[in-house]
């Protein structure tokens, strides 16, 4: 009898564990500012977190953006992404938490670390390191509806959001002129014909993805559909500037 009791306990425990995993969630809400940050999307961390979650297969949204009706009616159908920092001497330590609507931790990453001296590079590399823990966890949405406080919603079927609604709409700015890339120890500096340094780029572990700073705005430079863009937030609005770069 003791053996059967132990087996029953293990099965119940396993069932309880598997009932609430990341596979139960299609959506993840990302804040525009983490608790340790001084400004929205500082060092491009929030944009990077959203992008890495989408690479994993989630539909990720900033928490103050327009979201699908099925999620607006019940936010318990989404996980909330939280990144916490542990203070360290000469090292940046960041941990990714994915929480349900009750505050339960569904996923906790390892402690991502970086000893880079430059703040933007150090934070980005530490976050990337933390996200590598997701590589060890298989993800496939199983279509589970999560219980929680619900708003009254129409019973008619809601069509799945089109690809155009799954990303934040950005204000597009055309390229001002050709910029020339000069290699530095950690990336590039882009100069115009003046010559004047227009942008500083720091390499990341992702190809064609740089941490960028023009002195007034912090963001990212990335390649999309064969064209370069500098993306950053200004007055809570996403700006996407086209760039003509000669490397």
Same domain, 109 and 178: no
Task: Answer with the residue of higher pLDDT: 107 or 175.
Answer: 107
In the predicted structure, residue 18 carries a pLDDT above the cut 50: no
Residue 10 lies in a domain: no
Per-residue model confidence (pLDDT) at position 20: 66
Per-residue model confidence (pLDDT) at position 111: 95
Per-residue model confidence (pLDDT) at position 225: 84
End position of a domain, from candidates 141, 156, 179: 141
Q: What is the CATH number of the domain that holds 32?
A: 3.40.50
Same domain, 132 and 185: no
Same domain, 106 and 34: yes
In the predicted structure, residue 69 carries a pLDDT above the cut 60: yes
Structural domains in the chain (count): 2
Residue 18 lies in a domain: no
Same domain, 127 and 35: yes
**35-49, 152-166, 170-184 — which is least confidently predicted?**
152-166
- Label residue 155 by pLDDT band (50, 70, 90): very low
Per-residue model confidence (pLDDT) at position 142: 82
pLDDT tens digits, 85-131: 998 888 999 999 999 988 999 999 999 999 998 989 999 999 999 99
Per-residue model confidence (pLDDT) at position 132: 93
Same domain, 209 and 106: no
Residue 160 lies in a domain: no
- Label residue 146 by pLDDT band (50, 70, 90): low
End position of a domain, from candidates 141, 159, 190: 141
Same domain, 101 and 41: yes
Residue 198 lies in a domain: yes
Per-residue model confidence (pLDDT) at position 27: 93
Same domain, 34 and 129: yes
- Label residue 6 by pLDDT band (50, 70, 90): very low
Q: Which long-range contacts (CB under 8 A, 24 or more apart) does 205-213 make?
A: 205/125, 205/128, 206/128, 211/43, 211/44, 211/120, 211/121, 211/124, 211/187, 212/44, 213/120
End position of a domain, from candidates 121, 141, 161: 141
Same domain, 219 and 175: yes
The fraction of the chain above a pLDDT of 90, given in percent, is 40
Which domain covers residue 34, as residue numbers? 24-141
Residue 147 lies in a domain: no
- Label residue 31 by pLDDT band (50, 70, 90): very high
Residue 185 lies in a domain: yes
Same domain, 33 and 75: yes
Residue 187 lies in a domain: yes
């Amino acid at each position: 009898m003791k053996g059967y009791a132990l087996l029953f306990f293990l099965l119940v425990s396993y069932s309880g564990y598997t009932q609430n995993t990341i596979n139960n969630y299609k959506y993840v809400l990302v804040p525009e500012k983490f608790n340790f940050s001084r400004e929205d999307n500082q060092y491009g961390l929030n944009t990077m977190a959203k992008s890495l979650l989408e690479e994993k297969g989630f539909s990720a949204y900033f928490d103050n953006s327009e979201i699908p009706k099925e999620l607006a009616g019940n936010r318990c159908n989404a996980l909330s992404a939280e990144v916490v920092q542990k203070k360290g001497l000469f090292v940046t330590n960041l941990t990714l938490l994915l929480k349900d609507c009750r505050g339960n931790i569904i996923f906790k990453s390892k402690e991502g670390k970086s000893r880079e001296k430059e703040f933007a590079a150090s934070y980005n590399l530490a976050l990337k390191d933390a996200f590598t823990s997701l590589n060890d966890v298989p993800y496939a949405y199983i279509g589970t509806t999560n219980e929680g406080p619900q708003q009254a919603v129409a019973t008619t079927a809601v069509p799945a959001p089109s690809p155009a609604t799954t990303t934040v709409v950005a204000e597009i700015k055309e390229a001002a002129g050709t910029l020339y890339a000069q290699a530095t120890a950690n990336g590039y500096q882009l100069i115009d014909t003046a010559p004047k340094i227009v942008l500083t780029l720091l390499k990341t572990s992702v190809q064609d993805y740089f941490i960028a700073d023009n002195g007034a705005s912090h963001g990212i430079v990335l390649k999309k559909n064969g064209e370069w863009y500098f993306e950053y937030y200004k007055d809570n609005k996403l700006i996407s500037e086209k760039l003509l770069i000669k490397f």
